[in-house]
Amino acid sequence: NERLPVQYIAGVTPWRNFKIAVSSAVLIPRPETECLIDLAKALFADASGHWADLGTGSGAIAIGLADVLPNATIHAVDYSLEALAIAQANADDLGFADRIKFYQGCWWEPLALLKGQFSGMVSNPPYIPTSILTTLQPEVVNHEPHLALDGGVDGLDCIRNLVEISPSYLRSGGVWLIEMMAGQADAVRELLQNQGNYCNIQIHADLAGIERFALAYRS
Ligand code: GLN
Whether the CB of 33 sits within 6 Å of ligand 1: yes
- C-beta 36 within 6 A of ligand 1: no
Nearest residue (CA) to ligand 1, atom 3: 29
pLDDT of residue 1: 61
Q: Residues 144-165: pLDDT tens digits?
A: 999 999 999 999 999 999 999 9
Q: What is the 51 CA–ligand 1 centroid distance (Å)?
A: 16
- Indicate yes or no: pTM above 0.75: yes
**Ligand 1: distance of its center to the CA of 168 in Å?**
23
Cβ(7) – ligand 1 distance below 6 Å: no
**Cβ-Cβ contacts under 8 Å for 132 (sequence gap 6 or more):** 155
Tell me what pLDDT residue 82 has.
98
- pLDDT, block means (10 residues), the chain with 219 residues: 91 98 97 98 98 98 98 98 98 98 98 98 98 95 95 98 98 98 98 98 98 98
Task: State residue 2's pLDDT score.
Answer: 87
